[in-house]
Amino acid sequence: MSRQSIQIENLLWPDRKINIEQISIKDMAKLKEGDVAPDFDLPDIDMNMHKLRDFRGKNTLLAFFPAAESPVCTTEMCVFRDSMNEFENNNTAVVGISVDGPFANKIFKVNRHLNFPLLSDYKKGTISDYGIVMKDLGPLKDYNAAKRSVFLLDKNGIIKYIWISDNPLVEPNYDEIRNKLKEINN
């Protein structure tokens, strides 16, 4: 497609045109409970690639976080770490995902003794697929990071629970996640 602007009719405001280069299907589509979770292919801290489908057969908790070693992200990931027995007893894999590179995630995992995979969405495609791009990270303008988000999937990869925060300082409701996990297993 050429770089020239393509205009489409705006049905709500006929006197205004929409530049189609400014929107995408991903902008219009929003994941909801009952949808199949988008697959991904992301590296872990040792550069081994992981696909979402690798976790099929187990429930999966996808915990997207904005920045490794930041205070709220550390608290959240450590809560998941300390709850691993409960997750394992409920046949649930925990996977942390950020846009940080594998090396930063490795330092985070080692420093915090995290006992689940941390994956790097360094190309930022997965956060786009899940509709959780945070356009600015604090004062870092145009630094796209993941919104703090939790997607709980059943063993077939169907989304059963979604929690997304526009405020990176807000943690998820851990009791709500536990209750939804029990509901999925019943």
CA 125 – CA 172 distance, rounded (Å) = 23
Q: Measure the N-to-C terminal CA separation of the chain; round to a whole number of Å.
A: 50
DSSP code for 36:
B
Identity at 148, one-letter amino acid code: R
Residue 73 a catalytic site member: yes
According to DSSP H, which parts of the chain are helical?
25-28, 71-82, 84-89, 102-112, 125-129, 174-185
CB atoms within 10 A of CB 172: 18
DSSP code for 95:
E
Q: Which of 37, 68, 73, 93 is catalytic?
A: 73
Angle subtended at Cα 149 by Cα 78 and Cα 24, rounded to the nearest 5 degrees: 150
CA 3 – CA 28 distance, rounded (Å) = 22
Residues 6 or more apart whose Cβ sits within 8 Å of residue 156: 56
Active-site residues, by number, are 73
